[in-house]
Amino acid sequence: MATSRFLVTGGAGYVGSHMVLALLDAGYEVTVYDSLRTGHRAAIPDGARFIEGDLADLPRLNSVLADGPWDCVFHFAALSLVGESMQHPLMYMSANGALGFGLIDACVKHGVKKFVFSSTAALFGSAGDGPIDEKTPIDPGSPYGESKLVVERALYWADRIHGLRSACLRYFNAAGADPAGRAGEDHRPETHLIPLVIDAALGRRDALTLFGQDYPTSDGSCIRDYIHVSDLARAHLAVLPLLDERSVTFNVGTGKGNSNLEVIRTVERVSGRPVPWKPGARRAGDPASLVASPALLMKETSWKPDYAELEKSVATALAWREAHPGGYRD
């Protein structure tokens, strides 16, 4: 029986590289297609084939897809900064939306039957305090969220008209690092809270600015659901069998929220170091609380988070950043 072949766009990025590890660990053949605009060549593990290319380069993209058959395309390549999208909305709609359309169209042309899309909880905007399930009304609070929503709609029509079955995984805040230390988080500039708090604890940056202390939460700071990146990668694998029959949409998280101040206290506890921080104003586009209900995903697949506790995400992230003070430049 032939080994399944998978194409991973954005496989040199944070979540994408952990997806590549999960696929290789499962014994699959993996090709990474990445422009390295924000990803890192060193993040692509041995065993994966690498093709440097941009989604905007349609001749190159079509050439790669023509070299099939592909059992599934995993699509991670995207711009992902909410704050930046509030400053440059059309750039995000183009890079995430329009280029996503081009990839979907190319998949249809070359007979790809399955497509797993890295979507986002930013589709929900300000959804209130309770866990967010798949029936929660969609109301993107940023162009970033909107740019993901239009790709979801394109996938809906690609299934209805062309039979391209897809899984849209709306995940919350990816966190942590590969427990075996093979991959981690290295954004430039870094904007995610946990690595920023860790760097402040390690003395690698000035005092952290905490954006907003007047949200309607228990301690006034934002609440987020931190899902370990390895759990996230496994969720992408877990949905594949469902695509034999139908397209699906799931929210992926732990079902538990932690405030920004709780993140700081957890890093202090795990690292044994104080975290210097100072208050800052709210950021545009940041809702007070985003917590997933992963109940539907857990009901319909065998998936459950193995690293649901925030301490585990912090511990693996801390270990990776201590071992790689220069990120992938090491």
Catalytic residue among 144, 171, 226, 307: 144
Residue in the block written with tokens 């809270």: 193
Identify whether 92 is a catalytic site residue: no
Outline where the chain has alpha helix (H). Answer: 14-25, 58-66, 82-87, 89-92, 99-109, 143-162, 193-201, 229-238, 260-271, 295-300, 310-323
Q: Which DSSP symbol is given to 134?
A: T
- How far is residue 93 from each of residues 120, 245, 246, measured CA to CA in Å? 14, 31, 27
Query: Is residue 189 reached through a cis peptide bond, with omega within 30 degrees of 0 on the bond before it?
Result: yes
DSSP string, 46-102: TTSEEEE--TT-HHHHHHHHHS---SEEEE------HHHHHH-HHHHIIIIIIHHHH
Burial 93-125 (b: 16+ CB within 10 A, else e): bebbbebbbbbbbbbbebebbbbbbbbbbbbbb
Active-site residue numbers?
144
